[in-house]
Structure formats: structure tokens, C-alpha cells
Amino acid sequence: MVDRQELQNLAGSLKLGSYRKHVFLCAGPKCCSEAEGQATWEYLKDRLKQLGLADGVVFRTRVGCLRVCSQGPIALIYPEGTWYAQVTPSVCERVIQEHVLEGRVVAEHAFAANPLPGSGGIAIPAPRTLGQTEG
């Protein structure tokens, strides 16, 4: 039987229901090296804490596979449903600053969007090759 009280206590301690963003980070072995994935995960975790975003503002979840399995680490941010590739710590910083804080897509690393219904989403600018800069 489900112990609802235990789960509600856990949900309360995690402040579930109060977050504005949810960042999923896929650092699985098919899309990046273990070291790359771990470095980005640690950066995301530490940086959100430093910025005061970890406590009820941005929820983060490390996942084993988001089924893209290429050019990782892969990040997915909801409610906008924006997918990012090659999310190294430096790219992670840009995603935090530009997407999470300012509401702008980091176009060079965004490759898809699947917004939750009613979320408004953030449009992804015209497609470019990953890593390509405007010139």
C-alpha cells in the first residue's frame, strides 16, 4: 500500500509544486562520457545553489536516458520543453543565464521543443548547425 503521508512529507521537503522550471539532464553513456556528464551535473547542481535557484525555483533531475543518445550531455527544460545538446559546464551556464533567468533560448544548442500545453513555450530561432555562430 502507498504511504501517502511519507510521500507528501518528501514532496514538501523537496518543495514539489513550487518550481517554475524543471531541468532534466541526460548524461548517459551513449551520448557522452561519464566524466562529461558528471562535470555538467555537478556544475548545474552547484550553480543553481549559488544563484539561490535550487530551493523552490528550479528543480533538477539527472536521468539515464532521454533517447537522443548523441551529442550529449542533453538537457530538457520544462515547462517550455526546450531540448539542448552538448551541454558542457560552459553551455550549462549560458542555459541558466539566458533560458532559465531571461527566458531566451540558447539557439546554438537548442534542437527541438515540446512545450507543455498552456505553457506558452519559447520559440526556437531558425535552425543552425550546432556550434555555428552568426556571422
The residue with greater pLDDT, 17 or 132, is 17
Under 8 Å between Cβ of 97 and 77: no
Over the Cα atoms of the chain, what is R_g?
A: 15
Task: Return the pLDDT at 96.
Answer: 98
CA distance 7 to 116: 25
Distance, in Å, from the CA atom of 87 to the CA atom of 16, rounded to the nearest integer, reads 25
pLDDT value of residue 119: 66
β-bridge partners, 63: 26
DSSP letter (8 states) at residue 70:
S
pLDDT given at position 77: 97
Supply the mean pLDDT for the chain.
89
- Number of neighbours of residue 10 by Cβ within 10 angstroms: 11
Q: DSSP letter string over 77-114?
A: EETTTEEESS--HHHHHHIIIIIIIT----TTTEEEE-
Structural domains in the chain plus CATH codes: 19-113 (3.40.30.10)
Name the least confident of 26-35, 96-105, 112-121: 112-121
Residue 107 pLDDT class (50, 70, 90 cuts): very high
Q: What is the pLDDT of residues 48-83, one digit of tens each?
A: 999 999 988 999 999 999 999 999 999 999 999 999
Q: Is the pLDDT of residue 126 over 80?
A: no
Q: How confident is the model at residue 1 (pLDDT cuts 50, 70, 90)?
A: confident
